[in-house]
Amino acid sequence: MHSQPDRALRQLWGLDAPAVRGPKARWSPEQLAAAAVELADRHGLEGISLAKVAERVGMTTTAVYRYVDSKAALVELMVDGAIGDPPRITGRDWRQRCRSWASLLADRYAEHPWLCHVTPRRMPTQPRAYAWIDALVGAIADQAGVDALRVALLLDSLVRTYAALEVGLRDAIPAPWLDQAVAERYPRLAATAGQDVSDARGELTFAVDTVLRGLG
């Protein structure tokens, strides 16, 4: 007997059929997740609750518990729906394929900014999270001397980090006193003030290129 969150995830993996006990289910876990993703895209992750998702799809909160038993379980399903299936990774060489993969994944984070607020506390459980890693591993596996899995996990971490930076820069209200305080305490940093590092996507490109150069 599987727990409620496990049952929803197992359905995503195609391991379990929907529960048949009681009235026929009107919704699938994927459909509930899609409704929750729409809410999160509008109101952020903090605007998500089982009650609000229930209202969105026209069911009672009690009925939602037939599919998921907590917001945490719902968020796992939402991540799977938001990142979607990876496209085919192309490029003239393995480094270009890595750059393409990172850019495409960053696009998904840009479409759903709340994704960067989902803090990973364990290995992923969603099939599409594995699909993205598998897509890059498959695209660079023929490159001798490159640990494809570790490269994929590292680039995944970079994308998540710079997606969070992009959201933070967009939402931040600059403190008018900060530049002067930095200049007085850290003059070496102040000397680089003309260097614009506020373009998070550009900084992601720099980080990815730096990693790839270091791999030889």
CA distance 120 to 127: 15
- Answer yes or no: is pLDDT of 19 > 70: no
Query: In the listed set 82, 108, 130, which residue is the last one of a domain according to the structure?
Result: 82
Average pLDDT of the chain?
87
Q: Above 70 in pLDDT, residue 22?
A: no
CA distance 84 to 96: 22
How many C-alpha atoms does 22 have within 13 Å on its Cβ side?
7
Q: Is residue 54 domain-shared with residue 130, that is, in the same domain?
A: no
CA angle at 85 for the pair 122 and 10, rounded to the nearest 5°: 50
Q: What is the pLDDT of residues 43-64, one digit of tens each?
A: 999 999 999 999 999 988 888 8
Q: Are residues 66 and 95 in the same domain?
A: no
Q: In this predicted model, what pLDDT tens digit does every residue of 98-151 receive, in sequence order?
A: 999 999 999 999 999 999 999 877 788 899 999 999 999 999 998 989 999 999
Alpha-carbon distance of 28 to 94, in angstroms, equals 38
**Which CATH number fits the domain that encloses residue 118?**
1.10.357.10
Both 22 and 101 in one domain: the answer is: no
**Which domain-ending residue is among 31, 47, 82?**
82
Q: Is residue 117 domain-shared with residue 68, that is, in the same domain?
A: no
Residue 40 has pLDDT above 70, yes or no: yes
Q: What is the pLDDT of residue 17?
A: 61
The count of domains in the chain is 2
Q: If pLDDT is split at 50, 70 and 90, which confidence band does 67 have?
A: confident
Residues 115 and 173 in one domain: yes
Domain that holds residue 26: 4-82
> Is 61 in the same domain as 157?
no
CATH of the domain at 48: 1.10.10.60
Q: Do 15 and 112 lie in a common domain?
A: no
Task: List the structure tokens of 40.
Answer: 């999160």
The model's confidence at residue 1, banded by pLDDT at 50, 70 and 90, is very low
Say how far apart CA 171 and CA 41 lie, in whole Å. 15
102 and 70 within one domain? no
3-state secondary structure of 147: coil
pTM for the full predicted model:
0.87
If asked whether residues 105 and 188 sit together in one domain, one would say yes
How many Å apart are CA 175 and CA 158, to the nearest integer? 27
What six digits make up the tokens of 42? Answer: 């509008």
Same domain, 71 and 119: no
